[in-house]
Amino acid sequence: MRRRSLCGIFLAAALSLVWGCAGMDYASIATIAVKTTAKAAEASRPISDSEEYYIGRAVAARVLGTNRLVQDPQLIAYVNEVGETVARKSPRPNTYKGYHFAVLDTDVPNAFACPGGIIFVTKGLVLMCGNEDELAAVLAHEVGHVANKDGINSISKARWTQVLTTLGTETAKQYAGAGGQIISLFEGSIDDVFKTIVVNGYSRSAEEAADAEAVATLRKAGYDPGALSALLTKMMAKQGAGSSGIFKTHPPTSERLAKLKSIAPATETPSKLEAVRTKRFKSVKI
């Protein structure tokens, strides 16, 4: 257990380089590297929740390198309230540092779930939503990716094994030799996740699994489970307008929509609170 926590500390320190922070004490970092006679066992272990969190922060920093955040306290608080509501009813209600939701200041509709629970939704996608239930559906889908660990699972297993193997070697004490290699490998891990969630998108099976998790979560949270299929129907109608944003990273195929409608028909009786939620949504909508 102690070795795992030390690895987490090391990765946190490594991220300070990724984020451009200066003043790292190489001698201190060298002392974090632990001797091990079971390098193979250590290298084969899953990524811990704390390591997932630090990787997620680095991915979020990469996203924010090219996107500004919306500076609207009321909207931010509202999106976090809806997001936390669905997260609490998800299969993974608690992450290492909790869920955090933010709105990116771009008209391109999209949403990203960084490992560990940092979730971005764009202003363009919020505008596409017609009510709070549809916004909740978007956030529940992204929470589904976090619950399924889709982002963290996109890291090359060979690369992560090499990170842990390097951490477990005595040569890691000589930080000038091993440290640069670890930083390079760690940046590669961040690239794996960033390219998956922002550039290429998840596989169809991952999207469908997140859809299913979203429907179940919406039901438990008291939202309309048909809201996701309603929103995807809108997205399909607008898909011909371009292939960027969510149309590229979350392709709403007809097969995916058909599966959604089979488990959550859009004709389900809406909640008595839907009118209240819609009014609240419209009062804070951009």
Phi, psi of 180 (to 5 degrees): -60, -35
Reported pTM: 0.78
Q: Which of 237, 279, 282, 268 is nearest to 109 (CA)?
A: 237
Residue 90 has φ and ψ, to the nearest 5°, of: -85, 170
* Alpha helices per DSSP H over the chain: 2-18, 26-32, 39-43, 49-64, 73-88, 123-128, 132-147, 157-167, 175-194, 204-221, 227-238, 246-249, 254-263, 274-284
Quickly count: other Cβ atoms within 10 Å of residue 234's Cβ. Answer: 15
Could you report the average pLDDT of every consecutive run of 10 residues in the chain (286 residues)?
43 43 40 41 71 92 94 96 98 97 95 96 95 97 97 81 64 46 71 88 89 96 92 78 53 75 70 84 86
Q: What number of other Cβ atoms are within 10 A of residue 67's Cβ?
A: 17
Return the H-helix or E-strand segment holding 271: none
Give residue 93's identity as a one-letter amino acid code: P
Question: Residues 107-131: pLDDT tens digits?
Answer: 999 999 999 999 999 999 999 999 9
User: Quick one: tokens of 176?
Assistant: 């000038």
List the beta bridge partners of residue 121: 103, 111
pLDDT at residue 72, rounded to an integer: 95
113 strand-pairing partners: 119
- pLDDT for res 4: 45
Q: What's the confidence (pLDDT) of residue 224?
A: 92
Q: For residue 239, what are its two tokens?
A: 């898909």
